[in-house]
A and B are shown apart, each in its own frame.
Chain A
Amino acid sequence: MFRGWKLLLLALAVAGPAAAQEIENELVLITPVAKTLTDPTLADFVKYAKERWNVDVRASALAAGTPVAYGRIVEWKGRPEVDIFWGGESALFDKLAEQKLLQPLNLPKQVMDAIPATIGKPKPIYLKDPKGFWTGTVLEPYGLVYHPRLLQRLGVPEPKDWDDLLNPKLKGNVAQCAPSRSSSSHATYEVILQRDGDDKGWAWLKRLGGNTGMFTARSRDVPSVVAKGEFAAGFAVPSYMAFEDRLAGFDIKFVAPKTAWVTPEPIAILAGARHAKAARAFIEYLLTERGQKVAMERGVFPITPKYRVQGAPGSRAEMAVEFTGGLRSYFDVDVTNIYDDDMAQKRYEQVNERFRKEIESVWADLKRQP
């Protein structure tokens, strides 16, 4: 009996000590997640930390595309300049864990249990790492964007599915980013290839190349050039990036086709992080109702069935719901997923190479084809 009590106390001391535990007064993220999502969450976390631990945390985010962030973490060789890696593909997080560049999250059990292991059929989308090195933070689809007024001018109906981008009237009016430069573009290239198979898939992507008016340098530029009206439609855009342009006052619309890949935006603490406690506190905060709410107002969805995007009429949350087609939670609907991340990562370089050879190098010729 007495022994049992001691054990319980010990367990409590390990599992629920956050309230008593001090955290470091600094926190640095490296992240492909845009500032518009990282800034509000970090700002609110600073307040949260002040209330909870009375610590003034200096929090900052180093913006870097997924490949750059991954590359810098590898180059740091376990002596990272930052504490947290947030966003990108979960397969990359597995790769980092294999290289011993991540440390176990060790989050309280009830926090982790609130997140289902997977979502989607026929292929599962993993929402957390069974080994405990990373967890998903929010759900976010990679879809299409378009400029409604410009489409009207061109006499093109509003797109609903990927195939609508092949409309000949959209020639020269589609913006996209090369799969070697953007993880959302790469994933969506894979969606098409896995939907149609290699031969038909590449033929489809070449036709899209023929309709393309601009290959942007980064995926974030795709909604920007569409919002401005430079191009009428954009391929493979994360929902929240497009929503930011909507919030900035632009007339831009978003649609997630049925087969759109939904990313859990994984997060992990780097091995050797100088502010590991603050890092753990931030991740735990992100998964609280408060943290999820801040994110939901920026056009992404909760990672757990416990919460739904909801707000007062006219609120930013309601605007987001309207923008993403009325959805409040991915756990309310059947998620169709045909994207297999393992397969995609295995042939990552081949797809880039083939894109370069068959689309990028001969883009001028593709454009000339009717």
Chain B
Amino acid sequence: MLGFALIWAFLILFVLFPLTRIFYDAFTNEAGQFTAANFHEFFTDRFYLRSFWQSMVLGAAAVVTTSVIGITVAFLIVRYEFPYRQLFSYLTMLPLILPPIVGVLGFVFILGRAGTLNILLQDWFGLVHPVNFMYGMHGVLLVETVHLFPMMTLSILDSLSKVDPSLEEAAQGVGAKGWRRFFTITLPLMTPGYVSGALLVFIWTFADFITPLVLGVQDLLAPQAYLNIMQFVDRRIFRMGIVISALLVVLAIFFVLAAREYVAIKDYSSLAYSRVERRRLSAGKAWLAVGFLSALMLVSAIPQVGVLLAAVGRGWSLTPIPVHYTWEFFEQVSIETPKFIVNSFVFCGLAVLMCLVIGVPMAWIMARTRAPGRGAMDALTTLILAIPGTAVGIAYIRAFNFPLPLIDLPLTGMWVILPLVLAVRRLPYTVRGSYSSLLLVHPSMEEAAANVGAGKLRTFRDITVPLVWKGILVGGLFSFITSLQEASATIFLTLGGWEMIPFGIFTFYIAGSQSQAAALGVILIAVCALSLYVVNRIAGTRVGGLFG
């Protein structure tokens, strides 16, 4: 009971309160009076309206592109057998590791106006004006697609392996073949997984401000929120930044409501697992699959290759690859890097710990009890999933910037705010991961323990935890990896001495050294890839299900 109250206290204090604060700010003026003028200004300003519209279009476009690629990849990997299938199932997850800022810079180094491809086109084919692959909405779409298609794959991988093949066989039996069978049987069955994947892709694209900014696209909502918030001198613009953040939250709520039927926790893992038999592809088709996946991996590797070249190249300009090579950038970042790495591991570790302490009991309450307010808990965690990190960061800095009683320090002045915000952001992953693991443990085991006199807590500790720890650990590690790369909420809250690796990349980039930023980016990629490898070793190849 106490635990239940503590969980709610946590959710109210660190989720609801900051979000309310953002709305308070959005509906008041500098003098603190209530006003709707801010929203009026937004909805009568052509530039903001265009940003709004373009954000929606971009999000929708990213859902389409990632769906096409993500579903194809998932189908190939789950349903078919072909050479190097195992290797590809690992490789196709790698694009998820795309360090902030330098990931998109990597694209620019290869595909920019002075990027490798354009220089080759100019040198070999006498092209005069560089082809604009990157600067504009199409460039943003390219980056988001490559980065996010694995998220789509992961989301449906789980549902796909849960779809009972006998249903599809039955469909085939009555004459539904190929696409028809796909649209009438397979697609509806994977809808829950697909919708939450689509929601994640949409929100992520919608909330990403770094990629558009590096590509010179400013007429989108997230970059406008960021740029305006960063404008403190002109208070009116600053206020508009808050208004846009509030709007992002409203939209997130709206989308979650719209997709409610599919993303609610009870719907998503109610189906039992069944063995999927992989069909062997004919030689020709098998090589087609390998060709497609190889081409995909080649495109996905562009940012990593670009970052690596920039990290070791000196004065790289207007040549396909750098002419001079050096370790100096690694040496320059190596002074501060150990601090960044330590901070990253400590903060992300603490965040995961908080996630476990709060999230696992939450999952247990939802899966095993009839406690009132379970629905609200589920709704709240789903909402966190959908709220852009930018908005969370802004909400925190606005809400917790008052001196706390007794210690006389604001929460924003204490480093613990970083693990806290990371924990809140990743809580849904832990809750959902633990929930799906719990569903696989039959309650009768716990009942048996209760029958022989074990209390609730003891049963949980001695029976439930040992049975589900693996799923929970994988969930935790996955949160850890994504936290390592987190740069949206934390950018607003970091103070000197608390820098994690992504913020370090950000400072080097702000200082103007793309090469140093790239060097640190390479280090982040290495750290994440290593963590991902560990996760894969522990989890086998099944990491699906975390996304619901």
Contacts of B62 in A (CB 8 A): none
The docked-state distance in angstroms from the alpha carbon of A221 to that of B237 is: 22
Task: Give complex CA distance A60, B514 in Å.
Answer: 21
In the assembled complex, the CB of A239 is this many whole angstroms from the nearest CB of chain B, namely 13
B contact residues around A361 at 8 Å (CB): 46-47, 50
Interface locus among A203-211, A242-250, A263-271, A276-284: A242-250
Q: Give Cα A227 to B401, complex, Å.
A: 40
- Total A-B Cβ pairs within 8 A: 123
Interface residues of B in 29-69 (CB under 8 A from A): 46-47, 50
Interface status of A162 (Cβ within 8 A of chain B): no
Question: Considering the chains assembled together, what is the distance between the CA atoms of A252 and B113 in angstroms?
Answer: 17
| Alpha-carbon gap, A112 to B137, bound state (A) | 52
Q: Does B173 contact A (CB under 8 A)?
A: no
Chain A residues with CB below 8 A from B507, complex form: 35, 63
Contact of A224 among B218, B223, B495, B514 (CB under 8 A): B514
Q: Considering the chains assembled together, what is the distance between the CA atoms of A70 and B515 in angstroms?
A: 29
Q: Does B230 contact A (CB under 8 A)?
A: yes
Answer whether residue B324 sits at the interface, using C-beta atoms and an 8 A cutoff: yes
Closest to A68 in B: B230
Pick the contact of A220: B108, B238, B510, B515 (CB < 8 A): B510
Q: Which residue of B lies closest to A33 (CB)?
A: B511
A72 and B234 contact, CB distance less than 8 A: no
Mask of B390-405 contacts with A, CB within 8 angstroms, 1/0: 0000000000010100
Say if the beta carbon of B407 comes within 8 Å of chain A.
no
CB-CB contacts of A73-110 with B at 8 A, as 1s and 0s? 01100010110000000001000000000000000000
- Residues of the B chain whose Cβ atoms lie less than 8 Å from the Cβ of A214: 135, 216
A60 with B496, Cβ < 8 A, contacts A71-B232, A213-B135, A352-B237 known: yes
Query: Which residues of the partner chain B approach A72 to less than 8 Å between Cβ atoms?
Result: 232
Structural contact, B512 and A224, CB atoms closer than 8 A: yes
- Among A66, A67, A241, A244, max chain B CB count under 10 A is at A67
- In the complex, the answer to whether A74 meets B232 with C-beta atoms within 8 Å is yes
* Beta-carbon contacts under 8 Å, A195-233 to B: 213-218, 220-221, 223-224, 227-231
Assembly CA distance A65 to B135 (angstroms): 24
Q: Which residues from chain B contact A348 at a C-beta distance below 8 Å?
A: 233-234
Question: Separation in Å of the B391 CB from the closest CB of chain A?
Answer: 18
Decide: A181 and B227 in contact? CB cutoff 8 A: yes
Shortest CB-to-CB span from A350 to chain B, Å, is 10
> Are B514 and A249 in contact, CB atoms less than 8 angstroms apart?
no
Residues of A within 8 A of B496 (CB): 28, 60-62, 81-82
Name the one of A65, A216, A230 contacting B113, with C-beta atoms under 8 angstroms: A230
Q: A55 at the A/B interface (Cβ < 8 Å)?
A: no
**Least Cβ–Cβ distance between B296 and chain A, in angstroms:** 27
Kindly state the separation between the CA atoms of A231 and B216 in the bound complex, as whole angstroms. 12
Given known A65-B230, A230-B112, A360-B47, contact A34–B495 (CB-CB < 8 A): no
User: Chain B: which residue is nearest A214 at the CB level?
Assistant: B216
For residue B284, CB closer than 8 A to chain A, the reply is no
Chain A residues within an 8 Å CB radius of B510: 34-35, 63, 218, 220
Contact (Cβ within 8 A) A230 B511:
no
Whether B231 pairs with A62 at a CB distance below 8 angstroms is no
**B244 contacts which chain A residues (CB < 8 A)?**
none
Please, how many angstroms separate the alpha-carbon atoms of A82 and B495 in the complex? 9
Would you list which residues of chain B between 211 and 232 have a CB under 8 Å from chain A? 213-214, 216, 218, 223, 227, 230-232
Q: Does B318 contact A (CB under 8 A)?
A: yes
Chain A residues contacting B238 (CB-CB under 8 Å) are 71
B232 close to A68 (CB less than 8 A): yes
With the chains together, A216 CA to B227 CA distance in Å?
Answer: 11
Q: Does A308 contact B (CB under 8 A)?
A: no
Min CB–CB distance A90 → chain B (angstroms): 14
Question: Which A residues touch B233, using CB under 8 A?
Answer: 66-67, 70-71, 92, 348
> Considering the complex, which residues of chain B in the window 87-142 have a beta carbon less than 8 Å from any beta carbon of chain A?
108-109, 112-114, 135
Chain B residues within an 8 Å CB radius of A60: 496-497
Nearest CB of B to A150, in Å? 7
Number of interface residues of B (CB under 8 A): 43
Q: Are A220 and B511 in contact (CB under 8 A)?
A: yes
Inter-chain CA distance A218–B223, complex, in Å, is: 12
Which of A67, A150, A245 touches B231 (beta carbons < 8 Å)?
A: A67
Contacts of B315 in A (CB 8 A): 248-251
* Interchain CA distance A158-B133 in the complex, whole Å: 27
- What A residues does B214 contact at CB under 8 A? 217
Known: A81-B413, A214-B135, A230-B113. A36 touches B317 (CB 8 A): no
A349 within 8 A of B: yes
Identify A249's interface contact among B231, B236, B324, CB under 8 A.
B324
CB distance from B520 to the nearest CB of A (A): 13
B85 at the interface (CB under 8 A from A): no
Give the CA-CA distance A198 to B413 in the complex, in Å: 44
* A310 on the B face (CB < 8 A): no
A275 contacts B by Cβ under 8 Å: no
CB contacts (< 8 Å) of A227 on chain B: these are: 317
Which residues on the A side are within 8 Å of B413 (C-beta)?
Answer: 81
Chain B CB within 8 A of A149 CB: yes
Q: A224-B514, A228-B316, A230-B108 are in contact. Are A180 and B237 (CB under 8 A)?
A: yes
The residue in chain A whose Cβ has the minimal distance to the Cβ of B237 is A180
Instruction: Pick from A181, A221, A250: contact of B317, CB below 8 A.
Output: A250
Report whether B512 and A241 are in contact in the complex, using a CB–CB cutoff of 8 Å: yes
- B314 at interface (Cβ–Cβ under 8 A)? yes
Residues from chain B with a CB closer than 8 A to the CB of A28 are: 496
Q: Is the CB of A215 within 8 A of B314?
A: no
Question: Is the CB of B513 closer than 8 A to any CB of chain A?
Answer: yes
Closest chain A CB from B418 CB (angstroms) = 14
Q: Quick one: closest B residue to A351, CB to CB? A: B234
Chain A residues closer than 8 Å to B495, beta-carbon distance: 62, 81
Q: Give the one of B108, B218, B401, B510 with max A CB within 10 A.
A: B510
Chain B residues within 8 Å of A220, by CB: 510-512
- Please, could you name 6 A-B residue pairs with CB atoms under 8 Å apart, sorted by A? A35-B507, A70-B233, A180-B237, A181-B230, A214-B135, A360-B47
Chain B residues close to A by CB (< 8 Å): 46-47, 50, 108-109, 112-114, 135, 213-214, 216, 218, 223, 227, 230-234, 236-238, 314-318, 324, 401, 403, 413, 495-497, 507-508, 510-515
Other 8 A-B pairs with CB < 8 A, given A67-B233, A74-B232: A65-B230, A75-B401, A149-B318, A215-B218, A249-B314, A250-B315, A250-B317, A361-B50
Chain A interface residues (CB < 8 Å from chain B): 28, 34-36, 60-63, 65-68, 70-72, 74-75, 79, 81-82, 92, 147, 149-150, 178, 180-181, 213-218, 220-221, 223-224, 227-231, 241, 244-245, 248-251, 348-349, 352, 356, 360-361
8 residue pairs, one from A and one from B, having the closest CB atoms: A71-B232, A249-B315, A35-B511, A229-B114, A214-B216, A217-B213, A249-B314, A229-B317
